Amino acid sequence: MRHEILLSGFGGQGIILSSVILGRAAAIYDLKHVIQTQVYGPEARGGASMGGVIIDDEPIHYPKLRRPDIYLIMSQEGFERYGAKAEAGAVMVLDSDLVQSRPGCRYFEVPATSVAKKELGKVIVANIVMLGALVRATGVVSEGAIERATLESVPKGTEELNLKALKRGRELIIMGGEG
Amino acid sequence: MRHEILLSGFGGQGIILSSVILGRAAAIYDLKHVIQTQVYGPEARGGASMGGVIIDDEPIHYPKLRRPDIYLIMSQEGFERYGAKAEAGAVMVLDSDLVQSRPGCRYFEVPATSVAKKELGKVIVANIVMLGALVRATGVVSEGAIERATLESVPKGTEELNLKALKRGRELIIMGGEG
Amino acid sequence: MNFLEWYRVDRLPSIFCAGCGIGTVINCTLSAVTSMGWRRNDVVFLSGIGCSSRAPGYIRTDSLHTTHGRALAFATGVKLAEPRLNVILFTGDGDLAAIGGNHFIHACRRNIDLTVVCVNNYIYGMTGGQGSPTTPVGARSSTTPYGSTETPFDLSELAMAAGANYVSRWTPYHTKELTAAVKAGLETPGLSFIEVMTQCPTGYGRANRLRDVKEFMEIFRMRSMLKQKADRLLKEGKPVPPDAIVIGEFVRRSRPVMGRRG
Amino acid sequence: MNFLEWYRVDRLPSIFCAGCGIGTVINCTLSAVTSMGWRRNDVVFLSGIGCSSRAPGYIRTDSLHTTHGRALAFATGVKLAEPRLNVILFTGDGDLAAIGGNHFIHACRRNIDLTVVCVNNYIYGMTGGQGSPTTPVGARSSTTPYGSTETPFDLSELAMAAGANYVSRWTPYHTKELTAAVKAGLETPGLSFIEVMTQCPTGYGRANRLRDVKEFMEIFRMRSMLKQKADRLLKEGKPVPPDAIVIGEFVRRSRPVMGRRG
Amino acid sequence: MVKDVPCMRLVIDENRCKGCNLCVLVCPYKIFREGKKPNRKGIVVPELDRPERCPNCRLRQLYGRTICGLCQLICPDQAIDWIGEEPYEHMKVAIEY
Amino acid sequence: MVKDVPCMRLVIDENRCKGCNLCVLVCPYKIFREGKKPNRKGIVVPELDRPERCPNCRLRQLYGRTICGLCQLICPDQAIDWIGEEPYEHMKVAIEY
Amino acid sequence: MTMRRFLQGNIACAEGAIAAGCRFFAGYPITPSTEVAEHMAERLPKMGGTFIQMEDEIASIAAVIGASWTGKRAMTATSGPGLSLMMENIGYAAMTETPCVIVDIQRGGPSTGQPTMASQGDMLQARFGSHGDYSIIALSPSGVQEMYEMTVHAFNMADRYRIPVFLMADEIVGHMREPMEVPDSVLIIQRRLLEEEGRKPFEPREDLVPDFPLFGHGHFVHVTGLTHDERGYPSTSNPEVHERLVKRLVQKVEGARREIAMFDVVNPDAEVVFVSYGAPSRSVQQVLHDFPGEGFGHLRLKTPWPFPEWAPGRFENAKTFIFPELNMGQMARELERHVDQPVISVPKLGGALHSPEELAKVAMEER
Amino acid sequence: MTMRRFLQGNIACAEGAIAAGCRFFAGYPITPSTEVAEHMAERLPKMGGTFIQMEDEIASIAAVIGASWTGKRAMTATSGPGLSLMMENIGYAAMTETPCVIVDIQRGGPSTGQPTMASQGDMLQARFGSHGDYSIIALSPSGVQEMYEMTVHAFNMADRYRIPVFLMADEIVGHMREPMEVPDSVLIIQRRLLEEEGRKPFEPREDLVPDFPLFGHGHFVHVTGLTHDERGYPSTSNPEVHERLVKRLVQKVEGARREIAMFDVVNPDAEVVFVSYGAPSRSVQQVLHDFPGEGFGHLRLKTPWPFPEWAPGRFENAKTFIFPELNMGQMARELERHVDQPVISVPKLGGALHSPEELAKVAMEER
Ligand SMILES: Cc1ncc(C[n+]2csc(CCOP(=O)(O)OP(=O)(O)O)c2C)c(N)n1
Ligand SMILES: Cc1ncc(C[n+]2csc(CCOP(=O)(O)OP(=O)(O)O)c2C)c(N)n1
Ligand code: SF4
Ligand code: SF4
Ligand code: SF4
Ligand code: SF4
Ligand code: SF4
Ligand code: SF4
Ligand SMILES: [Mg+2]
Ligand SMILES: [Mg+2]
């Protein structure tokens, strides 16, 4: 099985970190072949940020995304730049607080930012909420893997909060975020 | 006609200047083809200095001396390094005050340094005495040419002295310096 | 004329981070320049590489955005070849004092008629927050993860020791004073050096708990000490607090100048 | 131990011109080094490019004759990688202060534990007598045929402003004092800078009617003024003659040091 | 008597503002207030509190030069400017200096 | 009583000396004198005037360290040194300090 | 034993260096290489090593060379503009036979160009960027595992041949993250030290490499960038000494090409053969994967320099060589010297990799 | 009208520059180029020009580029080590399309090497020494008259194509003195200035060269070494803009090879053909002179870069090319790319020229 996941949002949301966590989950805990890439550059300051993860059972040659089948979108600009092109067969998880448009593919609306801010008290974990949702919605990595990878990647002392965020993300899907 | 002139002495004697004057005389006033070259380098400090002049009626291709036929030697070290190899058919003008050895070819002994010091009052013009002698002994450039080239090349105010030096050089040959 | 008119508005917003002080420094500089009554044709801006060195790209005059650290050498060519041009440089602490240190001291020594505005944010902003020759001892950066141990340069001191005719230091908090200082620099023949201690919330701030611009500004407000006062303290044998940012005019003099028109 | 024993005698005579002061500077330096009781294995000499930078090639220890201007950067690597080595540099005014100026101020800023002996002969000797950043105003050289117009650096001042722990200046005329100064430099932790105003009869002398070494020495004897005296004059409000060569110890202090062993 | 002098209106260019709130910090008249809602770009632009109190709004045209102008000078993103406008209703504003 | 102490002899290495005469300049005993004739390399090496007067010649062995040594220290070409030698005839030399 | 880690290429490079025993890093930050320095800044102090951020790249490579003479494995990392500045001292390292490792994470040039975009634009500079004749080794990794392994290998080659060795990576390989296996220990080829009594410090062995006279060990070696004889003494006007030295410096590498060069040959019977190094190798691998039936060949150069001129000959039926590079065909120039078949250079500028589709298209046209 | 003078090559170069209208020189002394700077120091102040000795070579080329933007013809002169240091800013000149002339009087390398001995060791560095892809022009004089004329031509080419142009001479040609004819006036090809209303400052004409927007003339041009669009605005992540710019920078030179390249063809029927540039041309000429009956051919490259790849084809019967160089065969590498016949590189290191006898011997063996 091969998946290509495209993550996008604006600078400061932790999009790149999400892509790294996702990659690490697949690579270290699910023992998959993985490549994580991202867009660098001064334009990434404040502007749209983008990360890509390829997860495959086979070795991966070409490292860039060719046909993303999974999207995680956390800003309207990110949607317009990347998400709008999603193919019909793709799946998208979007932050419904920040993304106004809706794609042509199957998608899940996750109010990650408001949940993070209001329920979890830290807007900064919105990206982790989204990750939880993404994993539940797509099964692209195992839930154990995403938990362990998250714990390994976040600052000491914030483990609890991030686990909670993951959990809330999962729940938001169970509660039927599909749009 | 082609001549290859090799000049050597120790640093500070004005050997290089002599080679330039000779070259200029041939190039500008005798309208010959000329190439002047010299040995550069920190080793030239104090150590043996060397200049080469090729004078030809035809264009000169290869710029370095191939078979010098005229030598102007102003130090024993210069003699040992260069003059000792002079071919039988060559002509050498040597400063008999400074060069102890004698070559296998035709040569002229010119006490240039003592003449310059004692008669002309300036040891620094010994090289010009040598030039005067060289031109008279070999006719490699015209006497008018060497005079004009010398005048053009020496510091303002020393023209008289240098003309005198040239003249004394010529006389030393007439007086029969041939060894 | 309002300084905003000198901007290349088609390039705004700039690439600078939210709260970055560079924009303020450009404002003050342009404000000083416009107050000189110069036409845009009389002024050339130069810079090296760095966030601060992106400034000329936002100004609608001729400008050379050169290589990292070398702007002063390029500027020497511009000024000597065409002395009628008023030449102003934007530079950063890394650009000027790390890789560009030699050109800096030589330009000061020659006292060439240029105005140098240095955005000293204690950090390499553009490359993501590495230590610079002005990073304070103990401060963290991505290349001083355990706190910097090297003694930083006092750039204004160095400029004076090397020979600059005009030297002053301010912060973006002191907009009016900074503007006046740049103007004084433009007016003084020879090399004028205006050092602006500037907030970099992204590079420096993130690593040193100063992500909030307001806190940065508070530091500039609270820790700044006028040179006169610092001098007075020293004279009285009292210590100047080690974390004080001494601001004000350091020197204005008339050593021989290179490249002055006319 | 006599300092002559530290020479690579198989390379003598040196390439230096008759009367050149560099040989004297090497003598004094080696004399100081031997008086420290160090073994040859404890000492590494480095240099850049120039006549003065040829010095290490005549000394029988490990040595790096590097690229023009960069010796201090190479030395930083040697010292930090192996702090047990005592690292001494020979450099010239061109090597240190023209092309090498940036490494100079940064080494002083870091105050890395090295001893720098700078042969300041006001000229580029090796390349045949071009002006340098220390060529006095009005002096002639092959690139200042009408007399130099740029203000020269005061290298000792610069070293102090940049942060060196030990700074002194002498001339080859003052052999004993120079030897003592180098020794003091070797003893002082941090960067020690010993500037030696030196005769270059070939490069500087030829262009400035100082071809005769004795005249040069006479200048060093007559125009040298001890720092103490110059300070006294200044204090008394009396002028220090502009052509005075102020000699003596300028600073000995204990700012934080980089690369000190142990 | 200020009636005939045209006034200016203080504006924040939403395309340029990055929400740093330095304007909030420096305005002596507290005319800027931290905003609350992020815009499309995710930026929280400050709000204006009775900008007609700004002396520059009122007097720039009169004096022919910028009055105060602190906010504009410090705004790192060139987002603050004044545009010409019909006079405010003057009576509301007390001239305060 | 200095009889048994071995003395040193001052020598100029002709292969190294470049004839700069700095030794002439600094020797307090005027032991060096400008030379007159150029040698094979064209260099005029200084002459020595009663080198046995040099305190280093006399006392280096005694004190086990260099005495004076100015000429050696200033000689830019490492041409001056002392070599061990049979004692000079002491009587000729007055100890002068 | 190995440990599975998920690392960025630049971090893998730094980890490889540390595994190889590198204990001295001097550098100057530059995108997209900075993570190498940053990781060394964090790791080295804990290992008893030295990290120093120098005032510029010239000083960085200088400090590395200085450290190397004390016997430390030393390295720097940079990108194009920094590499340009290092060129004089890289020539010095070649001339003085100083082992050192230079990591170049290539970005879009010339000049400041596109600092965050990938390129392979410094391949000829790495080989020819300093004045005069000399030779170097360049390794070109195409993935995170190779960033690690080739960094280790770079140190071994530097010590083995006493030369500057370049790790010519690019932004893509430097910044991507992949799982990799970190070995417990790595193969170390020690620098051959001068120990033999009476042997001169620059006297070559049969392999043309002189034993290394470590500073502080009584060799009293004079190291100079001037032309020097076997004692290390300057010889500035003797043509024979110069010719012998420079030819040896070139020959010790070029003559050992067969030992040094590493490359992969896939489908040696192919008529259409891709040649690649670094990131574009991934595109080519994808083409071969996507079009298994087309019988395309692939010559992957792991050591672009010295160029293994016999390697193309391993494809005996080759009719065309297709050479995708993230530059205007820099290594294709070299290939052209050695083969009679047409070389189709497929340049790509601007940071993106060649898509497998576009490469396949070129190849199809050639068949 | 001309005037006969007896000049050193380096002085002829400086005089050529002045005749070409060069009024700005920034440099840093280095053997064997120093006489160029020294002569400029003497002459320029008298001509209302500017001579400045900068703190190093990096600053020298920077000042030259700065001066060029004010419209001055500007130049620097150096040798290998200095050229290495200039590489970053030479790339900047290429990227910003700044006309400038760089004189390299080549000496023995690598590193400090043999500073007073001749070489041609910087030929590949001149072409490939900076990071990224770009193109330059290099002229190679083989006598004093050409030192003068090619310096003039270098300025014309620099202005014509808006690129750095190299005068790649060597110590022999730089230091030898020959009589030469100094013309009263020389042909000047002016820089094409931007005057057309609304034309963008980096918008190329059909010849791919944009008009030059002089500083201080109301163009308000932003000049950056970043990838930039036709307005001059930075474009740091757009691959198309980068690709278009870099390809144009290369193409404007490479595509004009037939206009730019200059070479002499002697004995086009020859089977054994010497190829040369610079000083070794003199040796080859001597061989042809000494052995008139042998029918040797001679291709003399006056512009090694861009390499005129069609020129060897002018020798239709050529069986072998013999390429003497004062390096390890740097340009021979290039020739190999373009010809099917064997290329016999005859390297010579250490400062001496190939003797006519040794070249004749090689040629005889080939016949
Ligand atoms: C030769 C070279 N080395 C390194 C870099 C990478 N670089 C770009 S900007 C910068 C530092 C900028 O710091 P500073 O001048 O303080 O500017 P800031 O971004 O902080 O305003 C560096 C190291 C470069 N562009 N060129
Ligand atoms: C990069 C480089 N530029 C220029 C030179 C030429 N060069 C050699 S020595 C020197 C100047 C030396 O001057 P200084 O350091 O004062 O030494 P001195 O010869 O006067 O003792 C120069 C410019 C060089 N070797 N390398
Ligand atoms: S990184 Fe720092 S200096 Fe650069 S734009 Fe951001 S805040 Fe400003
Ligand atoms: S040129 Fe000057 S510095 Fe160099 S050796 Fe001669 S006298 Fe000494
Ligand atoms: S200062 Fe400018 S950028 Fe900052 S919040 Fe105010 S208007 Fe916006
Ligand atoms: S001009 Fe002054 S008073 Fe008016 S809004 Fe700005 S800061 Fe406030
Ligand atoms: S000081 Fe030395 S070199 Fe000079 S004359 Fe005396 S012995 Fe000779
Ligand atoms: S040691 Fe002193 S006294 Fe003896 S010769 Fe030398 S300078 Fe004269
Ligand atoms: Mg900074
Ligand atoms: Mg000097």
Q: pLDDT per position in chain B (179 positions), as tens?
A: 899 999 999 888 999 999 999 999 999 999 999 999 998 765 446 677 899 999 999 999 999 999 999 999 999 989 999 999 999 999 999 999 999 999 999 999 999 999 999 999 999 999 999 999 999 999 999 999 999 999 999 999 999 999 999 999 999 997 765 66
Is the distance from the beta carbon of residue C202 to the nearest atom of ligand 3 less than 6 Å?
Answer: yes
Q: Mention every residue, 6+ apart, whose C-beta is less than 8 A from residue E65.
A: none
In a mutational test of the D interface, the residue from G68, G70, G88, G212 whose CB has the highest number of chain D CBs within 10 Å is G70
Which of C67, C98, C128 is opposite residue G55, by nearest beta carbon? Answer: C98
Pairing of strands H73-78, H100-108: parallel
- What Å distances lie between residue C96 and C161, D100, H89, CA to CA? 16, 15, 17
**Looking at CA atoms only, how far is residue D150 from chain B in angstroms?**
28
Q: Say how many Å lie between the CA of residue E54 and the centre of ligand 6.
A: 5
Determine the Cα–Cα distance for residues G191 and G99; give it in Å rounded to an integer.
9
Name the residue of F7, F9, F10, F75 whose CB sits within 8 Å of the most ligand 8 atoms, as the mutation to test its pocket.
Answer: F10
Fold of G263-365: Rossmann fold (3.40.50)
Chain A: residue nearest C126 by CA?
A42
Which pLDDT belongs to residue G60? Answer: 98
Per-residue pLDDT, averaged over H262-266, amounts to 98
Ligand 6: which residue has its CA nearest to atom 5? E54
Is the distance from the beta carbon of residue E24 to the nearest atom of ligand 6 less than 6 Å?
Answer: no
Do the beta carbons of residue H19 and residue H148 sit within 8 Å? Answer: yes
Is the distance from the beta carbon of residue F67 to the nearest atom of ligand 7 less than 6 Å?
Answer: no
Which pLDDT belongs to residue E59? Answer: 85
Chain A hits for E42, CB-CB cut-off 8 Å, are 10, 75, 98
Is the distance from the beta carbon of residue C22 to the nearest atom of ligand 3 less than 6 Å?
Answer: yes
CB contact under 8 A, C73 and H216: no
**Looking at CA atoms only, how far is residue D157 from chain C in angstroms?**
7
- What does the pLDDT look like over D118-127, one tens digit per residue? 999 999 999 9
Ligand 7 atom at shortest distance from the alpha carbon of F19 = 5
Per-residue pLDDT, averaged over A3-22, amounts to 95
Fold of G2-183: Rossmann fold (3.40.50)
Q: Evaluate whether G2-183 and G263-365 have a shared fold.
A: yes
Band of the pLDDT at F37, cuts 50, 70, 90?
A: confident
Band of the pLDDT at F94, cuts 50, 70, 90?
A: very low
Helices (H), chain G: 9-19, 34-43, 57-69, 80-96, 123-128, 144-161, 171-175, 239-254, 257-260, 280-290, 330-338, 356-366
CB contact under 8 A, A45 and C17: yes
Per-residue pLDDT, averaged over D173-198, amounts to 98
Ligand 5: which residue has its CA nearest to atom 2? E75
- What does the pLDDT look like over H108-161, one tens digit per residue? 999 999 999 999 999 999 999 999 999 999 999 999 999 999 999 999 999 999
Chain D hits for C152, CB-CB cut-off 8 Å, are 109
Which pLDDT belongs to residue E87? Answer: 55
Position E3 pLDDT exceeds 70? no
Q: Which amino acid is at H232?
A: G
Reduced to 3 states (helix: H, G, I; strand: E, B; else coil), residue H63 is helix
Position G75 pLDDT exceeds 50? yes
Both tokens of A51, joined, read 């990360």
Average pLDDT of chain H, as a whole number:
97
- What Å distances lie between residue F66 and D2, D23, D31, E18, G133, CA to CA? 8, 19, 11, 76, 50
Listed in order, strand segments (DSSP E) in D58-215 are 62-65, 86-92, 115-120, 123-124, 130-131, 166-170, 192-197
Average pLDDT of chain C, as a whole number:
97
Ligand 6: which residue has its CA nearest to atom 4? E54
Burial of F3 from C-beta contacts in 10 A (0-12 / 13-18 / 19+) = exposed
C61 inside 8 A of chain H by CB: yes
- What Å distances lie between residue D164 and D91, D168, D191, CA to CA? 16, 11, 5
Q: For residue G68, give the nearest of G24, G17, G127 by alpha carbon.
A: G24
Which pLDDT belongs to residue G81? Answer: 98
Name the residue of F17, F25, F72 whose CB sits within 8 Å of the most ligand 8 atoms, as the mutation to test its pocket.
Answer: F72
Reduced to 3 states (helix: H, G, I; strand: E, B; else coil), residue G40 is helix
Ligand 8 atom at shortest distance from the alpha carbon of F32 = 5
Position E95 pLDDT exceeds 50? no
Q: What are the structural domain ranges in chain G?
A: 2-183, 263-365
Do the beta carbons of residue H60 and residue H86 sit within 8 Å? Answer: yes
Band of the pLDDT at A40, cuts 50, 70, 90?
A: confident
Average pLDDT of chain A, as a whole number:
93
Which pLDDT belongs to residue B41? Answer: 64
Ligand 7: which residue has its CA nearest to atom 4? F20
Determine the Cα–Cα distance for residues C93 and C115; give it in Å rounded to an integer.
16
A57 inside 8 A of chain H by CB: no
Name the residue of D121, D123, D127 whose CB sits within 8 Å of the most ligand 2 atoms, as the mutation to test its pocket.
Answer: D127
Which pLDDT belongs to residue E94? Answer: 40
List of domains in chain E: 7-85 (3.30.70.20)
Reduced to 3 states (helix: H, G, I; strand: E, B; else coil), residue G304 is coil
Position F4 pLDDT exceeds 70? no
Is the distance from the beta carbon of residue D127 to the nearest atom of ligand 2 less than 6 Å?
Answer: yes
Q: What are the structural domain ranges in chain C?
A: 20-252
Burial of H341 from C-beta contacts in 10 A (0-12 / 13-18 / 19+) = middle
Do the beta carbons of residue G251 and residue G208 sit within 8 Å? Answer: yes
Determine the Cα–Cα distance for residues H344 and H275; give it in Å rounded to an integer.
10
Pairing of strands G177-183, D245-252: unpaired
Q: Say how many Å lie between the CA of residue D86 and the centre of ligand 5.
A: 56
- What does the pLDDT look like over G153-191, one tens digit per residue? 999 999 999 999 999 999 999 999 999 999 999 999 999
**Looking at CA atoms only, how far is residue D67 from chain H in angstroms?**
7
Position F93 pLDDT exceeds 50? no
Where b means 16+ CB within 10 Å and e means fewer, F33-71 reads: eebeebeebbbbbbebeebbbbbbbbbbbeeeebbbbbb
DSSP state of H314: G
Determine the Cα–Cα distance for residues H313 and H338; give it in Å rounded to an integer.
9
Per-residue pLDDT, averaged over A80-95, amounts to 95
Listed in order, strand segments (DSSP E) in B64-167 are 70-73, 91-95, 106-110
- The continuous run of DSSP H or E covering D46 comes out as strand D43-47
Position C128 pLDDT exceeds 60? yes
Q: Between these two residues, B11 and G261, which has the higher pLDDT value?
A: G261
Cα dihedral angle (A22, A25, A27, A32), rounded to 10 degrees? Answer: -90
Touch between H and G (at least 3 CB pairs under 8 Å) = yes
Per-residue pLDDT, averaged over C171-194, amounts to 98
At C2, give phi and psi (nearest 5°).
Answer: -80, 140
User: What is the pTM for the complete model shown?
Assistant: 0.97
Say whether domain C20-252 belongs to CATH 1.10.540.10. Answer: no
* B–F interface: beta-carbon pairs under 8 A: 11
Is the distance from the beta carbon of residue E69 to the nearest atom of ligand 6 less than 6 Å?
Answer: yes
Position D78 pLDDT exceeds 70? yes
CATH of A3-177, one of 3.40.920.10, 3.10.20.30, 3.40.640.10, 3.40.50.300: 3.40.920.10
Rg (CA), chain C: 17
CB contact under 8 A, C81 and H50: yes
DSSP state of D113: S
Position H189 pLDDT exceeds 80? yes
Q: Say how many Å lie between the CA of residue C104 and the centre of ligand 1.
A: 15
CB contact under 8 A, E40 and A77: yes
CB contact under 8 A, G32 and A64: no
Determine the Cα–Cα distance for residues C22 and C20; give it in Å rounded to an integer.
6
Which of E16, E74, E79 is opposite residue C175, by nearest beta carbon? Answer: E74
CB contact under 8 A, E41 and A98: no
Q: Mention every residue, 6+ apart, whose C-beta is less than 8 A from residue H322.
A: H272, H273, H274, H275, H344, H346, H359, H362, H363, H366
Both tokens of B125, joined, read 């013009």
Band of the pLDDT at G64, cuts 50, 70, 90?
A: very high
Q: Which amino acid is at G173?
A: V
Per-residue pLDDT, averaged over G252-272, amounts to 98
DSSP state of C58: G
Band of the pLDDT at E2, cuts 50, 70, 90?
A: very low
H89 inside 8 A of chain C by CB: yes
Which pLDDT belongs to residue G316? Answer: 97
- The continuous run of DSSP H or E covering H114 comes out as strand H114-118
Which pLDDT belongs to residue A45? Answer: 63
Percent above pLDDT 90 for chain F: 55
Which pLDDT belongs to residue H157? Answer: 98
Band of the pLDDT at D98, cuts 50, 70, 90?
A: very high
Which residue has 């601007």 as its token pair? G350
Where b means 16+ CB within 10 Å and e means fewer, B36-46 reads: bbbbbbbbbbb
Which pLDDT belongs to residue D213? Answer: 95
* D–H interface: beta-carbon pairs under 8 A: 46
Position D102 pLDDT exceeds 70? yes
